[in-house]
Every structure is written in structure tokens, then in C-alpha cells.
Chain A
Amino acid sequence: MKAKSPAYPYLAWMIIFIVAPLLIVAYFAFTDKTGAFTLANISQAGQFSPVLLKSVYLAAIATVICLIIAYPLAYILSRTKVRTQRMLVMLVMLPMWMNFLLRTYAWMTILENNGILNRFFGLFGLGPFEMINTQGAVVLGMVYNYLPFMILPLYSIMEKIDGSVIEAAQDLGCSSMGVMRKVVLPLSVPGITSGITMVFVPAVSTFIISKMLGGGGNLLIGDIIDLQFLGLDYNPHLGSAISLVLMVLILLCMSIFNQFDNEEAVLL
């Protein structure tokens, strides 16, 4: 029993297909075409820092909007009757089951210059407005695609908050705002953290949403990586370098964020 762990096949798989590929990315990032060590790729990746900043900026805006929309929704969900709750949660999840390409495509048809919204505005003699191929459209696409990722963790943590704890706070003199601030908010911090992570990470690294809704003028860091591997700029060394930078950046963001989050939990 002891000698052969049933985990061995997986461990082998893990090393070959999870660890090794990441090491190869690192290897490519620090070598040139001949295989010689170089820092040129990393410094070249620096050229793209405006794009990187823009990606972070747009993803951060989308994450904040998701949080603002999702928080009250999750709270309302968690306090409705159990049977209604199950149905509503199902409704939140349903769009997630549709491929996000289709969902993003739907927004393309809505936002286009001769799309539904502009035709609707046209009825009142307004527009047409330039909605597609803007940064706003990219943020909208992110919010739309990733909103359920914010709602679900928030909901599942709030659902666990005992109703009698909320009643206890009311009993001790809290108004509904007070209950929110002093009880629900501090207890839902873990849900907020995982929601932010689950929205921010895919949003900052997306390349489809920006391509479909942002047009050519709103390339994000994901698009740049895509271009290095499957696009016209083919240069896997540079692509690996940018990927590495992105990964380090995300890890950095997350660890700073988690620290802040822990402190906050203690303070409250």
C-alpha cells in the first residue's frame, strides 16, 4: 500500500504538463533564437507597459463595477426564501453556461453603429453613437461576462451568514445601514476577495473581449501575447517575456491585495 501512492500518475502528469510548460515559458523569456541567454526580451516587453497599464486600468474598472452591481444583488438573493433563492441562483449561472464568445458576439450586434441600440436611439432622432470599438464597450464586455463570477462567491458567503446574527444586530440597536456596515460587510470579506480575484484575473488577461468589442484600437496585453504566438508578429521569446511579466504582476497584485484584506479583517 505505502510503496505505490495512487497519486504517482498524476504527479508525473503535473510535472510534465503543469510545471514543465511554465519553466519553458521562463526559458524562452530569457533566451534568443539561438538559445543564448539574454535580457533583451524582458526589456523589449517594457515597451508594452502602456498597454499593460491600460489592461490593468480597464480590468480594475470592470472589477469595481462588478462589485457594485453584485454586492446588493447577492445580499438580496441570500435573504429571499430558499426555494426562490435556488431558482434565482440558477438564473445567475445560466448565462455562464453559454460560451462567452456568443455572449460577447451578442453585444457586438447590440452596440454596432447600425446595431439595435443605435436604431432604437434613431427612433428619437438621436445618434448614431459610436459605442462599439471604444474602451467603454470593452469594460461593458468584461462586466457582462464576469459579473456571475462576482455574484456567486459573494452569495455563497452571505448565504452562510446566520439570519439570527442579523437579527441580533438589529436587536442591539443597528438600523439596516448599520447592520450592513457592522455585520454583513465584515463577514463577507472573504467573498469580496475571491470575487475580485475571479473577475480581475480573467479580465486583465483577456484578448477576445478587447478584440471583438474594442476593435483594433484597444489592444490589451492579452492581444499582444496572442500576436506573438499566433499572430503576424510571431516571436515566442518576446511573448514568453510578456507572459512572465503578466504572471508576476498578477501574483504581486494578489499578494498585496490579500495582505490589505487580512489587515482590514482584523481592523473591523
Chain B
Amino acid sequence: MDNVIVELKDICVDFDGQRVVNKLNLTIHDNEFVTLLGPSGCGKTTTLRVIGGFVSPDEGDVFFEGKRINDVPPHKRMVNTVFQRYALFPHLNVYDNVAFGLKVQKLDKREIKSRVSEMLELVGLKGFEQRGIGQLSGGQQQRVAIARALVNRPKVLLLDEPLGALDLKLRKDMQIELKRIQQSTGITFIYVTHDQEEALTMSDTVVVMRDGVIQQVGTPQDIYNEPQNAFVADFIGESNILEGMMYKDFLVQFAGADFECVDKGFGRMERVQVVIRPEDIKIVPQIQGQLTGVIESVIFKGVHYEMVADGCGYKWLIHSTTAAEVGSVIGMRLDPEDIHIMKREEDAK
């Protein structure tokens, strides 16, 4: 886990005069599951294609195991890609698709055969060797695409929104499957997605991007619990984001009240942004609450109720397993560790 395998240094990419990746620095370790996460157009796919060799950066360097590989063409790189829409070869059957890379390397026939069948077993497609690509379901095509890349035993596997075309149920299954494959093969995965839940479920490290710039790098827990700015907080799950002011260490004011918190290191009286996750707001009787609000709406979401409470100059989003009645007045409590303080976005820039 400590060996650096891929390193991006000050990468910039321009398309038609527009900067899609801006001064990007990223270090990826051996055996790591890294996810590049962000909305469409944030530069995550471009970053992946820089590593794969399909886009050459306008500035900056790409290192692979310490060697600069800017000028190495895709077919000579030790990485393989699972493409967004699979990009399977329509003229070849499942076996020949998976064997493609090995045949290009001119490996011994028997070795090809054993490696392909081993790989098809791993992705659960044994017995499908002779099927045409058109006869497969989306999920099966997905597995072929993964097998076709993995069979070459790349040091790094690049996955570009590989589950984007699948339905919800299948996507969940494949998330678990992919994680299992990554752990059993020990290959570094670099995974691109715009689905925050997917990123949190599978990754060792999440890289949140926006407008070609990295916003935050961290473990899923870090990213969720300690978002560095409002964009990350908002993108990773739903949240209440309020303007506030830091009196001093461990004491913050927002929504017209003072709260204890666990953050420090801000300037005295510094204006900050406060993030509160909807599930961290506890509903209590009105007199016990630090804040009060009137319930505006209640929607049943299966696991919990999603409620909006209007009070103290803000519409609070609350997730709770017990429902309050619409129109009722409630109290809200926040524990110090549920209050996340961030630098104001304008200042952070």
C-alpha cells in the first residue's frame, strides 16, 4: 500500500481553448482503490484518459512506477481500461474478446486458454465462451469488459463509469463484485463515477473534483464527515449548509444560536460555513430544543422519513426514523461532533 504506482504532477489539459483539468496533482499507491468523483464536466474522465494515454496533457507529467510516461502510447502502457459503454468488439465472441490482449502479446495458446477461463470464472461467466456480444445482457457485457481488461494482469485498472448503464439493483451487486475482484487480485483500481454512494461504498480513497480542480482527497469517512468545503459537503450526500461565525475555538454561532463544536484553528470572529447532515438533527420536544421549527413536509423514504422544518431563518432538512406531524412545532438538537465547520468557499478559493 505504500509504493507509489501512479503520480500526476501539475497536469493541465485544454480542449478547444477550455481548461478541463487544471494543475492537478495526485499520488496513487499500489493496491489502492481510488475513485475520482464529481459532476459531469469536472475533468474526472479526462484525468483517467491521461493515465490511460488517450489524452496527452498540455502541461505537467505523468509518472508510472517513477518513470515519466507522457510520450508512451496507450498500447505500451501497463494499464488497462474498462470503457464507459464497454467498447466490446462486436465481431468477436466472449472468448475472443477476453483473449484479445493475450493474442496481441502472442502468448502460448494453452496459456491464453487457461487464463481466459480462469478470468471468466472470476467474473461468473463460465460457459458463455462462444456467445456473441449481442446475446449478452448489460450486466454480462460489463463482466466481459472487466475480464478483458483484467486478463492482461495490468498493474493498474482504469474504470470509466463502468456501472453507469446498469439498473439500480444490478449496480449494487456489481459494486460488491468489483470490490471483491479488486481485493482478490490486488490490482490498483482507478475508478471514475458521478455517483457519490458508489464512491463511498467501494473506495479506499475518494478524490472529489470540480471544474478540473481537486476539491478534497481522503477516505470515504473523511470526505463524508469532514468535508472541506460546501461543494464537497453538498455533493457527498444531502446536507444543511449555513453561514456562521466562529467566536473562538470550539464555539460557533449560526441560525441565531451558539453551539459547542469540536473544531478549532479558525480566526476569532471568522465567518465560516457550517454543515449539518440531515440524519444528525435530533427531533425533541420544543422546550428541549436548541432550535425550533415548524414541520412543512414529511415524505416516507423507506428507511427513514425525510422532513423539512422551517425555523430560525432556515429550512432544515431532517432524516429521522420517526415522523413528526405536518404543522407541528418541534425542537432540534445538535451534538458538538455533528457540527462541521468549513472555511467559506470564496475565502477558500
When distances are taken between beta carbons in the complex, the residues of chain B under 8 Å from A9 are none
**Are A165 and B89 in touch, CB under 8 angstroms?**
yes
When distances are taken between beta carbons in the complex, the residues of chain B under 8 Å from A178 are 75, 104
**Are A164 and B152 in touch, CB under 8 angstroms?**
no
Expressed in whole angstroms, the Cα–Cα distance for A172 and B82 within the complex equals 11
Identify 4 new A-B residue pairs, CB closer than 8 A, beyond the known A170-B73, A175-B75, A187-B89: A172-B75, A173-B75, A178-B75, A187-B90
Q: A65 at the A/B interface (Cβ < 8 Å)?
A: no
Interface size of B in residues (CB-CB distance below 8 Å): 25
Partner pick for B91 among A168, A175, A265, CB 8 A cutoff: A265
Q: B52 at the A/B interface (Cβ < 8 Å)?
A: yes
Considering only residues 34-72 of chain A, those with a C-beta below 8 Å from chain B are none
Considering only residues 180-200 of chain A, those with a C-beta below 8 Å from chain B are 182-183, 186-187
Chain A residues at the B interface, C-beta cutoff of 8 Å = 162, 164-165, 167-175, 178, 182-183, 186-187, 265, 268
Q: B148 at the A/B interface (Cβ < 8 Å)?
A: yes
Q: How far is the CB of A87 from chain B (nearest CB, A)?
A: 18
Expressed in whole angstroms, the Cα–Cα distance for A159 and B220 within the complex equals 42
When distances are taken between beta carbons in the complex, the residues of chain A under 8 Å from B52 are 167, 171
Sample of 26 A–B contacts (CB below 8 Å)? A162-B87, A164-B85, A165-B88, A167-B54, A167-B81, A167-B83, A167-B87, A168-B81, A168-B83, A168-B88, A170-B75, A171-B74, A171-B81, A172-B80, A172-B100, A172-B101, A172-B104, A172-B152, A173-B76, A175-B75, A178-B75, A183-B89, A183-B91, A186-B91, A187-B91, A268-B91
When distances are taken between beta carbons in the complex, the residues of chain B under 8 Å from A173 are 75-76, 101, 104-105, 152
Q: How far is the CB of B94 from chain A (nearest CB, A)?
A: 15
When distances are taken between beta carbons in the complex, the residues of chain A under 8 Å from B152 are 172-173
Q: B320 at the A/B interface (Cβ < 8 Å)?
A: no
The contact string, 1 if C-beta is below 8 Å from chain A, for chain B 85-129, is: 101111100000000110011000000000000000000000000
**Are A174 and B75 in touch, CB under 8 angstroms?**
yes
- Among A173, A175, A178, the one with the most B-chain Cβ atoms within 10 Å of its Cβ is A173
Chain B residues at the A interface, C-beta cutoff of 8 Å = 52-54, 73-76, 79-81, 83-85, 87-91, 100-101, 104-105, 148-149, 152
**Are A172 and B90 in touch, CB under 8 angstroms?**
no
**Are A168 and B104 in touch, CB under 8 angstroms?**
no
The 4 closest A-B pairs by CB, nearest first: A172-B101, A164-B87, A168-B87, A170-B74
Q: How many A-B contacts at CB < 8 Å in the complex?
A: 66
When distances are taken between beta carbons in the complex, the residues of chain B under 8 Å from A169 are 89, 100
Q: How far is the CB of B35 from chain A (nearest CB, A)?
A: 20
Q: How far is the CB of B214 from chain A (nearest CB, A)?
A: 25
Expressed in whole angstroms, the Cα–Cα distance for A183 and B152 within the complex equals 18
Partner pick for B74 among A167, A182, A187, A268, CB 8 A cutoff: A167
Expressed in whole angstroms, the Cα–Cα distance for A164 and B88 within the complex equals 9
Partner pick for B75 among A164, A171, A186, A268, CB 8 A cutoff: A171
**Are B104 and A174 in touch, CB under 8 angstroms?**
yes
When distances are taken between beta carbons in the complex, the residues of chain B under 8 Å from A175 are 73, 75
When distances are taken between beta carbons in the complex, the residues of chain A under 8 Å from B79 are 171
Expressed in whole angstroms, the Cα–Cα distance for A97 and B149 within the complex equals 47
Of chain A, the residue at the smallest CB distance from B101 is A172
When distances are taken between beta carbons in the complex, the residues of chain A under 8 Å from B83 are 164, 167-168
Expressed in whole angstroms, the Cα–Cα distance for A168 and B53 within the complex equals 12
Given known pairs A173-B75, A175-B75, the reply for A165 and B101 (CB within 8 Å) is: no
Of chain A, the residue at the smallest CB distance from B151 is A172
Q: How far is the CB of A133 from chain B (nearest CB, A)?
A: 46
Expressed in whole angstroms, the Cα–Cα distance for A253 and B100 within the complex equals 34
Q: How far is the CB of A99 from chain B (nearest CB, A)?
A: 39
Q: How far is the CB of A170 from chain B (nearest CB, A)?
A: 4
Of chain B, the residue at the smallest CB distance from A163 is B87
When distances are taken between beta carbons in the complex, the residues of chain A under 8 Å from B75 are 170-175, 178
When distances are taken between beta carbons in the complex, the residues of chain A under 8 Å from B80 are 171-172
Of chain A, the residue at the smallest CB distance from B106 is A173
When distances are taken between beta carbons in the complex, the residues of chain B under 8 Å from A183 are 89, 91
When distances are taken between beta carbons in the complex, the residues of chain A under 8 Å from B148 are 168, 172
When distances are taken between beta carbons in the complex, the residues of chain A under 8 Å from B100 are 169, 172, 182
When distances are taken between beta carbons in the complex, the residues of chain B under 8 Å from A172 are 75, 80, 100-101, 104, 148-149, 152
When distances are taken between beta carbons in the complex, the residues of chain A under 8 Å from B53 are 170
When distances are taken between beta carbons in the complex, the residues of chain B under 8 Å from A168 are 81, 83, 87-89, 148
Expressed in whole angstroms, the Cα–Cα distance for A248 and B177 within the complex equals 59
Q: How far is the CB of A95 from chain B (nearest CB, A)?
A: 32
When distances are taken between beta carbons in the complex, the residues of chain A under 8 Å from B101 are 172-173
Expressed in whole angstroms, the Cα–Cα distance for A178 and B84 within the complex equals 23
Expressed in whole angstroms, the Cα–Cα distance for A175 and B72 within the complex equals 12
Q: How far is the CB of B92 from chain A (nearest CB, A)?
A: 8
Expressed in whole angstroms, the Cα–Cα distance for A268 and B100 within the complex equals 12
When distances are taken between beta carbons in the complex, the residues of chain B under 8 Å from A162 are 85, 87
Expressed in whole angstroms, the Cα–Cα distance for A164 and B74 within the complex equals 13
- Among A162, A172, A174, A186, the one with the most B-chain Cβ atoms within 10 Å of its Cβ is A172
When distances are taken between beta carbons in the complex, the residues of chain B under 8 Å from A268 are 91
Expressed in whole angstroms, the Cα–Cα distance for A246 and B148 within the complex equals 49
Expressed in whole angstroms, the Cα–Cα distance for A186 and B89 within the complex equals 10
Expressed in whole angstroms, the Cα–Cα distance for A169 and B100 within the complex equals 8
Expressed in whole angstroms, the Cα–Cα distance for A173 and B148 within the complex equals 12
When distances are taken between beta carbons in the complex, the residues of chain A under 8 Å from B84 are 164
When distances are taken between beta carbons in the complex, the residues of chain A under 8 Å from B85 are 162, 164
Of chain B, the residue at the smallest CB distance from A189 is B91
Of chain B, the residue at the smallest CB distance from A187 is B91
Q: How far is the CB of A185 from chain B (nearest CB, A)?
A: 10
When distances are taken between beta carbons in the complex, the residues of chain B under 8 Å from A167 are 52, 54, 74, 81, 83, 87
When distances are taken between beta carbons in the complex, the residues of chain A under 8 Å from B73 are 170, 175
